[in-house]
Structure 1
């Protein structure tokens, strides 16, 4: 289930949005936004903290701490309920539309009386927005795109939310007497970026104790259906979970079948038919006699079909069957392969933890190297300056070597401006160990302009990595319109790596783009983009996405030893 910190973060962010709609003080709005990020990134469970301990979280003052404590105690906050009551539910729904935002939602409600998504779509089609300042044809197009994005996301959960829930369930069921095996399956096992329903599979001779324990889990809000082989529940957060219990002897076939994908399973069943066999969730059978041939492990099932075991993230019918037949499946990158993290933030800019805290957390994760890459000055809200960045560099150099085996790199996340320029001149940038460059604004530029913009940044001799390359936020902001093939070709030619940003709401590049970029010979960096110590665990999601993109450790620069990585980073500037 979602961490209490995540719930409180969402609540405080909602309050900030509500304040913005009602014309609240801008400083107060920013305070709640900052507090939301701080609570979300805090390492301790805020539901266990008192007001005094909550106040110790950076960015959380007395008033906010009391609201958090009130929510933990009662399940609601009076001030937030009052703010909600002032604004129709439909207007609050408008805030959720990607590309719209609270200020534009307020204008739509106050000037046109629009209080629902349907009313907004109708108003756009009837051109009623044309008279409003800031609502031209391009804005209308972006809003409609945002509505489609929101509707497409529907009730799907982000990968981290679904995975945390699945792991909690499998851990609980594994403790039930008689449970021999338990694992999650479905699209979650394949590391899809969003999940509709969570599939859990268990092996036991008697399913009754498992079904009873499943129905009794504390977060079950509704039992949708319950039977001997399958039970479906809905959690208090609205996510459906299906539990299937099979005999141990059927485990392998069932796990293969319920992992999917549908397209992959169609291919394996076709192979079975051509071999005179029948493949189902119960096993691999002789089609003529009905005799069970294999079913206990996935490896046995694939082997009997003449294939090596295929890793779940590859099972999308994107060439994995053919590669398996040729013994050409990639040895996929794993989380254990990662030696370092090349994109992280501290409280010098928009992180919520100090440099010392982030470095200590990186050391505890066993990293060999770790880059601090706070924002550069063109993001004015971060108030960065040359002096602040140089002072941080001295701090980084002083901390380097204090934690055994961990080497520190001083870097920055540059802003790719509307014309492709970056924050600092080349002579200043050469003082950094690593430079990540990302698009943080002007997301709606046309395709040609955006392509030229990225290409100029890629050509910059001091830019080593393009961060979150498409700028998308899953379910909230669409990817930029850019000629990715031109970007991939330029990265391969200049030796500029592309980031796989592991934040669960980004996962950018996505798996399909990774597959395309790999064909150009691009190198990648799987980074956390951590803004708190908690976020340093995000690369597990980036690795899953990289696996779906068929990447090996060789493709990922932060799996390399530091000496090789440093040579790669130096080569970019030397060859330009």
Structure 2
């Protein structure tokens, strides 16, 4: 289920876009963008708040709070409906394309009369966009990629985090039903894929009827697609399909292995079974000739009988895991328990939503040994950072560090990697930080050569310890930058710079395939939440899942290391910190 906060976030962001399209006040559009982000990350459910309560949310003033209340009461906001009506529907369709902003969408409408994605595709193929000021061949490439992203998103796939939230709600509901022996999610969600097509839920029980009925009657069930003894499928109010299968308890292990997938991994395991004159199905492992069941209750038992160790679900993608298992060479994957601290987080000093005190307290509650605060540096102008603000925060961090005896606090910053690879602040100022993360936040459309040189130069900076969200992608919204990442990975290995695995479900950057490539270069990694709110800190689980999909061990991940070893790495060969 999508939280009400996220629904309101989407509404306010749409209004900001509509204001920009219609030539409205740029500051007003920016105010709604800020409010949208603040509401989306606010820990309290907005449906529980009145206007005064909503005004406690950063960047939410009286007018915005009243619109939120109006939407929650009626499902619409009159002002937004009027603004929608003033903007051609075709333009609204165009701004849903990742990489195409509201201003360019309006130009396409006013100059070329484009009011649909199909018309835009025709114009791109006919090279008519190149006649427009501010458009060019690179713009056309970005638009085509954006349309591809939008079409993939329209195939019913949702982000890992949203799918996990819904799946865990359903598992909790079904686990409480009498007769439930076991209940969990399977499929691509269990494998921690970055997007999920549908959710597979498995129950072990002697009787299936109570569980099938319960799923069909959940409050967020919009449609029952199929209702049977072994399988029931529903569609939620948000359009996501959920498939429930009830297995005999004796078949739990075989069913869990089968429905977790992937299809290619299962083909490999079934082929091994055939070589052993066995048959593997969702009901168990059987003698092929006699049909006698050999084992079925646990996944471990299935794999063991096939001559394999248990293979973690995040590896089951037919990328060599079966062969590695047969050789006894499966990696001991990093786990969330191995993470000793978060090295990239923000507070309300810049674009975060929670105070320094609240962020630190929440981190301590997660049992971390260390925790870094890394607010934005001044070259991200909208954050209005100054030397004085950062130094004042450092004093606050040092004071808090003396209060939290079980967790050491690191004062860092997230630097901006400029168009030529330069970063904010001179060396003498950077030397005062415990940690510098450096990230690309702008100029995404530079040439491949320029982007590569830019990232490599940042790696070569003696004060940059981590490259944040390295490709800058936002899943389904913005493609990654076009750089030679093998050259970047080689530079990271050469300079001792870690690459971030950004755990935010919209980023998961680096992705698993890039992690596999970078690991071959000898790169080290940092799995960070990039939290802008206390509610974002648990996102770390998705970063760990992505790290596992990239075959990483805790030795590969710097924030699993003891603080003394981590500090040596952060010094990058002895540069002062």
TM-score (norm 1): 0.98
**Aligned equivalents of 1:91, 1:177: Cα separation in 2:** 52
**Aligned equivalents of 2:506, 2:209: Cα separation in 1:** 37
Instruction: Quickly say closer, same or farther: Cα 1:458–1:565, change in 2 above 3 A.
Output: same
CA drift of 1:128 comes to: 2.6
**Aligned equivalents of 2:400, 2:339: Cα separation in 1:** 22
The equivalences for 1:121-160 within 5 A come to 121-154=121-154, 155-160=156-161
The equivalences for 1:433-512 within 5 A come to 433-512=434-513
For the 8 Å contact 2:465–2:572, the answer to whether it is kept is no
Q: What corresponds to 1:544 in structure 2?
A: 545
CA drift of 1:272 comes to: 0.3
Q: What corresponds to 2:103 in structure 1?
A: 103
For the 8 Å contact 1:418–1:442, the answer to whether it is kept is yes
Q: What corresponds to 2:6 in structure 1?
A: 6
**Aligned equivalents of 1:423, 1:367: Cα separation in 2:** 29
For the 8 Å contact 2:528–2:540, the answer to whether it is kept is yes
Q: Deviations over 1:408-458 (max 9, x none)?
A: 111111111111111112111111100000111111222221111111110
**Aligned equivalents of 1:143, 1:300: Cα separation in 2:** 50
Instruction: Quickly say closer, same or farther: Cα 1:575–1:34, change in 2 above 3 A.
Output: closer
Tell me the secondary structure at the aligned position of residue 304 of structure 2: helix
Does residue 67 (structure 1) correspond to residue 58 (structure 2)? The answer is no
Q: Deviations over 1:80-102 (max 9, x none)?
A: 22222222333222112111111
Tell me the secondary structure at the aligned position of residue 306 of structure 1: coil
For the 8 Å contact 1:462–1:572, the answer to whether it is kept is no
**Aligned equivalents of 1:30, 1:519: Cα separation in 2:** 42
Relative to structure 2, which stretch is displaced further, 461-470 or 175-184? 175-184
For the 8 Å contact 2:353–2:533, the answer to whether it is kept is yes
Tell me the secondary structure at the aligned position of residue 141 of structure 1: helix
Does residue 228 (structure 1) correspond to residue 262 (structure 2)? The answer is no
For the 8 Å contact 1:200–1:244, the answer to whether it is kept is yes
Question: Where do 4+ consecutive residues of structure 1 move more than 4 Å?
Answer: none
**Aligned equivalents of 2:131, 2:322: Cα separation in 1:** 56
Does residue 290 (structure 1) correspond to residue 291 (structure 2)? The answer is yes
Relative to structure 2, which stretch is displaced further, 225-234 or 149-158? 149-158
Q: What corresponds to 1:394 in structure 2?
A: 395
Does residue 345 (structure 1) correspond to residue 329 (structure 2)? The answer is no
Instruction: Quickly say closer, same or farther: Cα 1:437–1:14, change in 2 above 3 A.
Output: same
Does residue 216 (structure 1) correspond to residue 217 (structure 2)? The answer is yes
For the 8 Å contact 1:97–1:150, the answer to whether it is kept is yes
CA drift of 1:357 comes to: 1.9
Q: What corresponds to 1:523 in structure 2?
A: 524
**Aligned equivalents of 2:202, 2:501: Cα separation in 1:** 30
Tell me the secondary structure at the aligned position of residue 574 of structure 1: coil
**Aligned equivalents of 1:37, 1:572: Cα separation in 2:** 39
Q: Deviations over 1:36-60 (max 9, x none)?
A: 1111111111111111111111111
**Aligned equivalents of 1:392, 1:314: Cα separation in 2:** 42
CA drift of 1:76 comes to: 2.0
**Aligned equivalents of 1:110, 1:352: Cα separation in 2:** 38
Does residue 359 (structure 1) correspond to residue 360 (structure 2)? The answer is yes
Q: What corresponds to 1:277 in structure 2?
A: 278
**Aligned equivalents of 1:551, 1:136: Cα separation in 2:** 41
Relative to structure 2, which stretch is displaced further, 480-489 or 82-91? 82-91
Instruction: Quickly say closer, same or farther: Cα 1:485–1:575, change in 2 above 3 A.
Output: farther
CA drift of 1:526 comes to: 0.4
CA drift of 1:113 comes to: 2.2
**Aligned equivalents of 2:89, 2:256: Cα separation in 1:** 43
For the 8 Å contact 2:347–2:356, the answer to whether it is kept is yes
CA drift of 1:491 comes to: 0.9
Tell me the secondary structure at the aligned position of residue 183 of structure 1: strand
CA drift of 1:573 comes to: 4.6
**Aligned equivalents of 1:19, 1:207: Cα separation in 2:** 52
CA drift of 1:288 comes to: 0.4
Tell me the secondary structure at the aligned position of residue 375 of structure 2: strand
**Aligned equivalents of 1:44, 1:503: Cα separation in 2:** 19
For the 8 Å contact 2:343–2:526, the answer to whether it is kept is yes
Q: What corresponds to 1:198 in structure 2?
A: 199
**Aligned equivalents of 1:356, 1:575: Cα separation in 2:** 28
Structure 1 gaps of 5+ residues are none
Relative to structure 2, which stretch is displaced further, 159-168 or 128-137? 128-137
**Aligned equivalents of 2:573, 2:244: Cα separation in 1:** 51
Structure 2 gaps of 5+ residues are none
CA drift of 1:575 comes to: 10
CA drift of 1:330 comes to: 1.1
Q: What corresponds to 2:311 in structure 1?
A: 310
For the 8 Å contact 2:341–2:368, the answer to whether it is kept is yes
For the 8 Å contact 2:378–2:424, the answer to whether it is kept is yes
Tell me the secondary structure at the aligned position of residue 371 of structure 2: strand
For the 8 Å contact 1:464–1:572, the answer to whether it is kept is no
Q: Deviations over 1:196-245 (max 9, x none)?
A: 01111111111111000000000011111111111111111111111111
Q: What corresponds to 1:58 in structure 2?
A: 58
CA drift of 1:329 comes to: 1.1
CA drift of 1:500 comes to: 0.2
Q: Deviations over 1:277-334 (max 9, x none)?
A: 0001111110001111111111111011011110000001111111111211111111
Aligned residues: 576
Relative to structure 2, which stretch is displaced further, 81-90 or 500-509? 81-90
- Measured on the aligned residues, the alpha-carbon RMSD in Å equals 1.4
TM-score (norm 2): 0.98
Relative to structure 2, which stretch is displaced further, 274-283 or 363-372? 363-372
Tell me the secondary structure at the aligned position of residue 400 of structure 1: helix
